[in-house]
């Protein structure tokens, strides 16, 4: 079984918009959703449709996985990459990638994105956070005033 | 601010919220009811605390406390918080109410644990756990087995304040922050009292 699996040379991922990515098996190791496909199929070439992930996002995820799967890269180089990777993203990129990470079942990438989003919203105002996640307040003005008073120190 | 159409699921929001510093978490209590309820949920808070303890969370670790004792020579006695890259920001803190009138012989025991410091007064049976950020405090009650009576020749010595990770882990009761306070009261008879507190200092 193990010998058969290692005979798979290339995995083809098809994004929601139809764009196609050919990657080596070690790149998709983190993607549990993809991995479960591969384990079920007993073939030399595998083509996997990912209808919930757009091409642009998949390209970024693959870039991230390539960097982190590389044994030649130092820990510092990977950290530097992570920093730049997040820096060039907009807020909605981060949220989309978080959802893609969840769909692909990539635990460590999901935690990485969650941390990036937490860093963006920490110390921001309540209004900023509501806007960010498109949340409507369901408190009455009195309830909200009460809560703000209770947690006064957190607003300083 | 730009708007975008991504309303994310609660379980994903949860993975983000777990990574926030405490101050932001408390502030976001009033974002909506479901978040507020989530922060009341013991399971969420236990996950939050274990995350908080294991990750290198900077919000408290980059703050030092400096205690300048009250003596004749010291012009500015008191407790200061030092923060910033070179600890250049120095802020004098007001003592919590139990010590505001009488701050002679103030001491701080051990280290800062989850933002909580343990203050005591030399030779007095007064010990207070205090969170300078939230301004919450808790007066440690006298020994449950014996109320200490101060005689002139008696002396209280305090020995430590620590966090009992093992106990917390085993207790599986993460809503209560497992705190471990060892107080030794050296009476003539030589007596040691160990307090083990499980107090929810941060709501």
pLDDT of residue A105: 95
Interchain contact, A139 vs B17, CB within 8 Å: no
CATH number for A2-122 (one of 3.40.640.10, 3.30.710.10, 2.30.110.10, 1.20.1740.10): it is 3.30.710.10
Query: What residues form DSSP beta bridges with B151?
Result: none
The per-residue DSSP string of A17-84 comes to TS-EEEE-GGGGTT-HHHHHHHHH---SSEEEEETTS-HHHHHHHHHHHHHHH-SSS-HHHHHHHHHH
Point out the least confidently predicted range of B23-37, B43-57, B66-80, B151-165: B151-165
- A115 touches B19 (CB < 8 A): yes
Which residue in the set A98, A135, A154 is minimally distant from B12, CB to CB? A98
* d(C-alpha B23, C-alpha A97), whole Å: 26
Q: Report the candidate in B21, B96, B164, B134 with the shortest Cα–Cα distance to residue A150.
A: B134
Residues of chain B found within 8 Å of residue A115, distances taken between Cβ atoms: 19
Q: Which two tokens stand for residue B115?
A: 């933002």
- A55 touches A16 (CB < 8 A): yes
Residues of chain B found within 8 Å of residue A103, distances taken between Cβ atoms: none
Q: How far is CA A82 from CA A1, A75, A86, A106, B125, in A?
A: 35, 11, 6, 16, 52
First-to-last C-alpha distance (Å) of chain A: 60
Residues of chain B found within 8 Å of residue A99, distances taken between Cβ atoms: 6, 8, 12
Which residue in the set B4, B29, B134 is minimally distant from A92, CB to CB? B4
Domain boundaries, chain A: 2-122, 124-156
* d(C-alpha B167, C-alpha B101), whole Å: 36
**Higher pLDDT residue, A156 or A6?**
A156
Q: Residues B131-149: what's their mean pLDDT? A: 66
pLDDT of residue B181: 42
For A69-121, the pLDDT digits (tens) are 988 889 899 999 999 999 999 999 999 999 999 999 999 999 999 999 999 99
């Amino acid at each position: 079984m193990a010998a058969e699996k290692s005979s798979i040379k290339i995995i083809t991922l098809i994004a929601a918009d139809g764009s196609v990515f050919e990657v080596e098996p070690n790149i998709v190791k983190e993607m549990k959703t993809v991995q479960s496909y591969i384990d079920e199929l007993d073939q030399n070439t595998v083509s996997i449709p990912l209808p919930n992930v757009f091409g642009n996002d998949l390209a970024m995820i693959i870039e991230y996985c390539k960097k982190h799967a590389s044994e030649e890269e130092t820990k510092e180089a990977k950290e530097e990459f992570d920093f730049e990777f997040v820096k060039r993203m907009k807020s909605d990129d981060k949220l989309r990638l978080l959802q893609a990470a969840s769909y692909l079942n990539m635990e460590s990438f999901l935690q990485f994105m969650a941390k990036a989003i937490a860093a963006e919203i920490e110390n921001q105002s309540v209004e900023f956070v509501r806007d960010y996640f498109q949340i409507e307040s369901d408190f009455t003005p009195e309830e909200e005033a009460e809560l703000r008073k209770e947690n006064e120190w957190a607003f300083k | 601010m730009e708007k975008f159409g991504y309303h994310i699921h609660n379980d994903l929001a949860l993975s983000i919220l777990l990574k926030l510093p405490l101050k932001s978490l408390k502030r976001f209590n009033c974002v909506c009811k479901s978040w507020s309820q989530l922060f009341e949920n013991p399971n969420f808070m236990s996950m939050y605390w274990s995350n908080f303890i294991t990750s290198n969370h900077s919000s408290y670790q980059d703050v030092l406390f400096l205690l300048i004792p009250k003596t004749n020579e010291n012009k500015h006695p008191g407790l200061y918080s030092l923060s910033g890259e070179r600890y250049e920001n120095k802020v004098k803190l007001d003592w919590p109410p139990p010590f505001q009138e009488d701050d002679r012989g103030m001491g701080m025991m051990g280290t800062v644990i989850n933002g909580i410091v343990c203050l005591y007064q030399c030779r007095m049976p007064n010990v207070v756990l205090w969170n300078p950020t939230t301004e919450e405090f808790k007066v440690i009650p006298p020994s449950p087995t014996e109320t200490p009576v101060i005689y002139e020749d008696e002396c209280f010595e305090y020995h430590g304040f620590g966090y009992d990770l093992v106990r917390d882990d085993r207790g599986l009761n993460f809503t209560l922050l497992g705190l471990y306070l060892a107080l030794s009261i050296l009476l003539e008879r030589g007596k040691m009292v160990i307090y083990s507190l499980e107090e929810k200092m941060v709501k």
